[in-house]
Chains A and B, each alone.
Chain A
Amino acid sequence: MSREPYLLPNGRVLRYTFRERLVHWLAGVSYVYLLLTGLAFWSPWLFWIAVVLGGPTVSRELHPWFGLIFAVGLGLMYSLWARQMKETPADKAWWGAIGHYIRNEDDQVPSADRFNPGQKLLFWGFFWNGGLLLLSGLILWFPQYIPWNLRFLRLAAVIVHPVCTLFTVALFIIHVYMGTAMERGAFGSVIRGDVSRAWADSHHHTWYQQLLRDSAAKK
């Protein structure tokens, strides 16, 4: 299984494979475009974003297409990670220690597998909200084909779309903050793919120990 993460010979650990990184950024870049153009349509005070991005009509035209790209990204992420994102009984204890996690008292937080429960929340939050955004987005894209007696679909879509977006924005803010500022090395892991052994052991102890056992078993 060469595609799966493994211990690199140079004392580092492959955290994300090329395919995982590619899919992450497919979703990431399309999400940022969707967020920026979406914010332009959300508030008159931010309408200038659409002007900067090529004009409001262009932004309106491209927004749904990027939505499709983002949906494909989510689908690929699902195929890559759904199994590892499954909730386990141990997650409860981790959430119980969330206060310690927030205060960086990491020695009092239960050790995490490849993805900690917070990352799982991020994944499923984006997955389900993304699904609703796709459905409501399709309705908003083609309102002229929704008959008048099914108008409630359109009325639901205009509220579902922004509400789901706000949930993803909450996740997005935390995700970007943690991935760039709070967890040093995390951003590199999703760009170059590797992390130090210390990083792996500190943040994903259970996962790292399993990698060590696997590599020992192979020898």
Chain B
Amino acid sequence: MSQASTEIVRISGHAGPVAGAGLNREFRVAKLVDTTTCIGCKACEVACLEWNGYPFSETTFANSYQTMPETTWNFWNLIKFNEHERADGSLMLLMRKDQCMHCEDPGCLEACPADGAIVQYANGIVDFQEAHCIGCGYCMTGCPFNIPKFSPARKVFKCTLCNDRVSQGLEPACIKACPTGCLHFGTKAEMKEMAETRAKQLRDHSGFPDAGVYDPPGVGGTHVIYVLHDATNPEAYGGLPKDPHIPWTVQLWQKPLKWIGNLGMIGGVVGVFIHYLRFGPKVVKEDLQESDGGIK
């Protein structure tokens, strides 16, 4: 958005066409994760912790490279390892960098009741403003990727896509640290094109006929996209949902139910008021008031 101030629309006293007018600049950014060239070195995990100032977390041992089961409130970037057996019996070690996907239709934002706690920027970054978070945890229910997590103070944290760096023209810390070049950062259009090119390469030359790009349309596309060897089975990559959506109960609750409920509540109050105007209060048989309650 800071770039917008360098784009000229009109110039005073200027003869001829305006240089650069009508340019359509792509503000939307994306992170590309090519799982086929990831070596699982976890440099991105370290870079994320370093840049954001979080400590190394306690690790667990589960007979695999997976040193932590899932991302936590202060560990936003985690490689998910999966020893995947292919149809022909051969083994593949699938590695996927898991983090917030920065959905175009963010379920967290849809579910959040707190004013200003979640914002979506024009470049596609979905960011949490912890100062406004009330700790209800609805974002955790709205998210199809299991990303937002409570801190001990019951505020929700997650990957910011290095919004602080990106707004200054830098790439995210994880991108900076990747030694194999499996991580890329740029405009969404560029990343999408690069991903498609890589997927085609995998299909045509590397014996992965099902290779493809993961940019799920169910959430309007994401600002973190993956190249997968087998795009037909994203679940194998540490539980990447095949067709993520904002959960239908969240959508039902946020859209039609609110209208039905609001109309119902207003209607109820107006209804009893009109009833009072029309019929008034119930009357008691006052004759009993004085007589000391004889049996009728």
Contacts and interface: CB of A to CB of B under 8 A. Distances in A.
Interface of A: 7, 11, 40-44, 47, 50, 56-57, 59-61, 102-104, 106, 140, 143-144, 148, 151, 154-159, 162-163, 166, 169-170, 173-174, 177, 181-185, 196-199, 201-203, 209, 212-213, 216
The prevalent SS among residues of A at the interface is: helix
Given A56-B134, A212-B293, A212-B295, 17 more contacts: A7-B293, A42-B261, A103-B279, A104-B280, A106-B282, A144-B149, A148-B146, A158-B111, A163-B257, A166-B265, A169-B265, A173-B268, A173-B272, A183-B281, A197-B292, A201-B284, A213-B295
Contacts of A143: 137, 140-141
Given A143-B140, A169-B268, A202-B285, A43 B258 contact: yes
A112 to B, nearest CB: 12
Contacts, number: 137
A165 B265 CA distance: 11
Contacts of B253: 158-159, 162
Contacts of B293: 7, 11, 197, 201, 212
A169 B292 CA distance: 40
A41 B261 CA distance: 13
Nearest to B135: A60
Contacts of B281: 104, 181-184
A159 B140 contact: no
Interface string B235-272: 00000000000010110110001101110110011011
B64 interface: no
Contacts of B58: none
A177 B247 contact: no
A202 B113 CA distance: 47
Interface of B: 111, 113-115, 134-138, 140-141, 146, 149-150, 247, 249-250, 252-253, 257-258, 260-262, 264-265, 268-269, 271-272, 275-276, 279-289, 292-293, 295-296
Nearest to B155: A57
B292 A44 contact: no
